[in-house]
Amino acid sequence: MTFRIVGAAVAAGVVLSAASLAMWPDSVRMYEYTYYSDASKTTQVGFSFDQCINGHVVPGQAHGTATAYYTRHVIGQCPGYLY
């Protein structure tokens, strides 16, 4: 249930952040990762989000289990180092 709520929030964020991607064309994209139990990608076992720290994209901590089977979606961008 929690994963579905987070997924809906991420989907809404993707729509809003897509417009902002055009504002900083030299920036680095950040992603939301959804992890699955196997290659069929039917059972979600975890998720994580990239973070922008001091202008650099940093992988976020995985919630649940991180696996080699995942999908990723753009959730925003990191504009690079800010002076």
pLDDT over 80 (residue 40): yes
pLDDT for res 82: 57
Spatial contact of 75 and 51, defined as CB atoms under 8 Å apart: no
Q: Please give the average per-residue pLDDT across 45-70, as a whole number.
A: 95
pLDDT over 60 (residue 59): yes
pLDDT for res 70: 98
